[in-house]
């Protein structure tokens, strides 16, 4: 009898068929954050079924019906929603929104562990580490590639406490809006007086919107200022899409 079972297992192995006991059960994952949708869709195992934040909207009924094994959220999600989900016995993991490069790596590692360390996640983490190490070693901060202002809607600029500022600093650029704050309010007149070498504009390309009216100020487009448009899809989820942003910046800034 044992020899018969053994022969069956050998045949199954040759045919590439797994015994039922080794087939992984479907694991249901929910994202309550748009930026997490990207990582889940990129990293999830084949046996993991996803419910993205864009499919949920503000209706928790979709989550209840999905009956997930794991819900991923961050500190910006509604605390009442998280309490309701946990009251139903669901595992909700609240992840941080990092503002430093080290914090991004920590987020990615934590995210990867929660998903069971998918191969794609490990590859992306290794790629990100290599990209950052290369950027830091190739252009030390002391050898400046120029100054910049990263300007977005409603006269806000990314300050020295932001992830984008730290990334640009690692690539050798000086943030003229440098401070301990994440966001700094600047009028176009302030920026003109600062005379940055680079002006990074976020979200102003395309159709006109009042929120971006300051970015259209004629005085910002001076001959000595090189203007670069940043995709809000990537900058809005910078911590989750940093591996894309580094080579994109190098391409835009002439690296």
- 84-102 pLDDT, tens digit per residue, is 999 999 999 999 989 888 8
Question: Is 107 part of a structural domain of the chain?
Answer: no
Angle at 29 between CA 23 and CA 32, to 5 degrees: 175
Rounded to 10 degrees, the C-alpha dihedral 184/188/191/196 comes to 120
Cα separation of 68 and 31, whole Å? 10
Specify whether 82 is located in the same domain as 164.
no
CATH code (residue 243) = 3.40.50.1980
Specify whether 157 is located in the same domain as 244.
yes
- Nearest residue to 30 via CA among 76, 7, 64: 64
Specify whether 58 is located in the same domain as 161.
no
Q: Averaged over 117-124, what is the pLDDT?
A: 92
To the nearest whole percent, how much of the chain has pLDDT over 70? Answer: 84
- For residue range 5-45, list pLDDT tens digits in order: 334 333 334 444 444 333 456 799 999 999 999 999 999 99
Specify whether 89 is located in the same domain as 136.
no
The overall average pLDDT reported for the chain is 83
Question: Is 126 part of a structural domain of the chain?
Answer: no
Specify whether 83 is located in the same domain as 181.
no
Tell me what pLDDT residue 205 has. 63
- Identify which of 136-145, 152-161, 205-214, 224-233 has the greatest average pLDDT: 152-161
Question: Is 7 part of a structural domain of the chain?
Answer: no
Question: Is 13 part of a structural domain of the chain?
Answer: no
Look at the chain and report how many structural domains it folds into: 2
Domain of residue 35 covers 20-95
């Amino acid at each position: 009898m044992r020899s018969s079972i053994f022969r069956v297992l050998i045949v199954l192995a040759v045919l590439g068929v797994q015994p039922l006991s080794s087939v992984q059960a479907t694991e249901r994952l929910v994202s309550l954050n748009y930026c997490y949708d990207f990582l889940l869709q990129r990293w999830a195992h084949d046996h993991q079924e996803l419910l993205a934040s864009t499919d949920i909207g503000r209706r928790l009924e979709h989550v209840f019906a999905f009956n997930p094994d794991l819900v991923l959220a961050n500190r910006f999600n509604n605390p009442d929603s998280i309490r309701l989900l946990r009251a139903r016995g669901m595992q909700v993991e609240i992840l941080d929104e990092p503002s430093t490069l080290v914090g991004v790596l920590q987020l990615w590692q934590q995210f990867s562990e929660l998903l069971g360390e998918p191969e794609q996640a490990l590859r992306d983490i290794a790629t990100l580490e290599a990209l950052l190490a290369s950027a830091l070693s190739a252009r030390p901060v002391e050898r400046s590639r120029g100054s910049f202002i990263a300007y977005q809607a409603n006269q806000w600029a990314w300050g020295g406490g932001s992830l984008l500022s730290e990334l640009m600093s690692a690539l050798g650029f000086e943030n003229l809006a440098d401070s301990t704050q994440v966001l700094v309010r600047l009028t176009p007149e302030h920026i003109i007086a600062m005379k940055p070498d680079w002006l990074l504009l976020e979200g102003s390309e395309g159709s006109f919107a009042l929120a971006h009216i300051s970015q259209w100020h004629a005085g910002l487009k001076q001959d000595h200022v090189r203007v670069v448009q940043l995709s809000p899809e990537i900058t809005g989820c910078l911590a989750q899409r940093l591996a894309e942003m580094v080579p994109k910046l190098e391409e835009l800034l002439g690296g």
